[in-house]
């Protein structure tokens, strides 16, 4: 059981870090360049919007189980690996909260407003477009923060494993 959960944690953690980095460095800047047309791209991506939250959730849940099952919430908490794993857990959970609370909500709202924008009359279009741009900037900034937190999490976890 331990090896399966550890495999899930490492595999989905690697996917989460990779997706966060590619979104922050590649996808979001391209959407900024596209401007108005980004709404069409985001609308098409809506069908796959569940993928990153599922990957992140499986990573966090398997990590919590590993942390708990190895005693890092108890006697081993003060060990060097325990402190590194604990610090990595904090940064990983912070990335999860920012992703769910800021990025997902901002992009969902921007996508919904994008659909309204296509039907809106000219006076309302400017206000909607400004709101969408602000939501995308918010998601982009949060995405960069999540990417940094996940890189830090990965470094802390690797250091923890090397000290086992």
Q: Which two structure tokens, joined as six digits, stand for 62? A: 């398997």
Instruction: Please tell me the predicted confidence (pLDDT) of residue 12.
Output: 98
**Which secondary structure element, helix H or strand E, spans residue 140, and what is its range?**
helix 122-162
Query: What is the per-residue pLDDT across 42-76, written as a single tens digit (0 to 9) for each?
Result: 778 878 889 999 999 999 999 999 999 988 877 77
What's the confidence (pLDDT) of residue 84?
95
Q: How far apart are CA 164 and CA 112, in angstroms?
A: 48
Nearest 5°: phi and psi at 71?
A: 80, 15
Low-confidence ranges of the chain (pLDDT < 70): none
Q: Taking the domains of the chain in order of start, what are their residue ranges?
A: 1-36+91-157
CB-CB neighbours of 83 under 10 Å: 17
How far is 68 from 89, CA to CA, in rounded Å? 11
Write the CB contacts of 161 (distance below 8 Å, at least 6 apart in sequence): 81
Contact 13, 139 (CB under 8 A): no
**Residues in the chain, how many?**
164
0.75 exceeded by pTM: yes
- Per-residue confidence (pLDDT) for residue 19, from 0 to 100: 96
Report which of 39, 36, 40 is spatially closest to residue 126, judged by C-alpha positions: 36
Instruction: Check residue 34 and give its pLDDT.
Output: 85
């Amino acid at each position: 059981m331990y090896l399966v959960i550890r495999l899930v944690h490492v595999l989905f953690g690697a996917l989460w870090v990779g997706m966060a980095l590619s979104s922050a460095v590649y996808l979001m800047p391209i959407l900024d360049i596209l401007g108005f047309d980004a709404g069409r791209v985001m609308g098409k991506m809506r069908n796959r919007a569940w993928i990153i939250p599922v990957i992140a959730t499986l990573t966090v849940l398997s990590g919590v189980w590993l942390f708990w099952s190895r005693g890092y919430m108890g006697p081993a908490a003060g060990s060097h690996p325990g402190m590194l794993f604990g610090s990595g857990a904090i940064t990983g959970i912070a990335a999860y909260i920012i992703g769910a609370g800021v990025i997902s909500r901002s992009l969902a709202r921007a996508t919904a407003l994008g659909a309204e924008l296509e039907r809106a009359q000219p006076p309302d279009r400017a206000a909607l477009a400004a709101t969408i741009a602000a939501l995308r900037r918010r998601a982009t900034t949060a995405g960069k923060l999540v990417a940094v937190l996940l890189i830090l999490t990965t470094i802390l976890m690797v250091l923890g494993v090397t000290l086992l």
